[in-house]
């Protein structure tokens, strides 16, 4: 999959699409917190995201029902991989070392993280 780059505004819109799966423009607008963006702003974002092949739609008369063409997990994986590549020279070990020593995780959280890793090793 090609690298996905979303602006903050696009990420906000994708969160709405991921939550709704298939959603009409009026429902998208209602999903935004106040102050809500203008419909033209959202339409521009949707068009830009269609051009990036991230959003699709189905026509019903004059209305479009929008849906995400990329899953949230897939997007998150790509973002994490890109961040590890850029900031940690593609080293997961460097990332893990930085993450565990700089995020002030509690002992309980570190143990939970270890349990998650242990479960992955068993599979």
| Nearest alpha-carbon partner for 12 in 3, 2, 35, 1 | 35
Summarised one tens digit per residue, pLDDT across range 62-112 is 999 999 999 999 888 888 888 888 889 988 888 888 888 888 888 898 888
61: left (phi over 0), alpha (psi -120 to 50) or beta: left
Summarised one tens digit per residue, pLDDT across range 20-57 is 889 999 999 999 999 999 999 999 999 999 998 999 99
Taking the whole predicted model, whether its pTM rises above 0.85 is answered as: no
Give the chain's largest Cα–Cα span.
Answer: 57
């Amino acid at each position: 999959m090609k690298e996905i780059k979303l602006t903050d505004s696009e990420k906000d819109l994708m969160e709405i699409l991921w939550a709704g799966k298939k959603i009409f423009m009026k429902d998208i607008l209602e999903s935004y917190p106040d102050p809500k963006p203008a419909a033209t702003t959202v339409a521009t974002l949707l068009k830009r995201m269609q051009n990036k092949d991230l959003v699709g739609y189905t026509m019903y008369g004059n209305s479009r029902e929008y849906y995400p063409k990329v899953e949230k997990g897939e997007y998150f994986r790509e973002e994490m991989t890109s961040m590890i590549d850029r900031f940690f020279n593609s080293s997961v070990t460097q990332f893990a070392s930085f993450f565990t020593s700089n995020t002030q995780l509690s002992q309980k959280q570190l143990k939970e993280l270890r349990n998650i890793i242990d479960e992955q090793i068993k599979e």
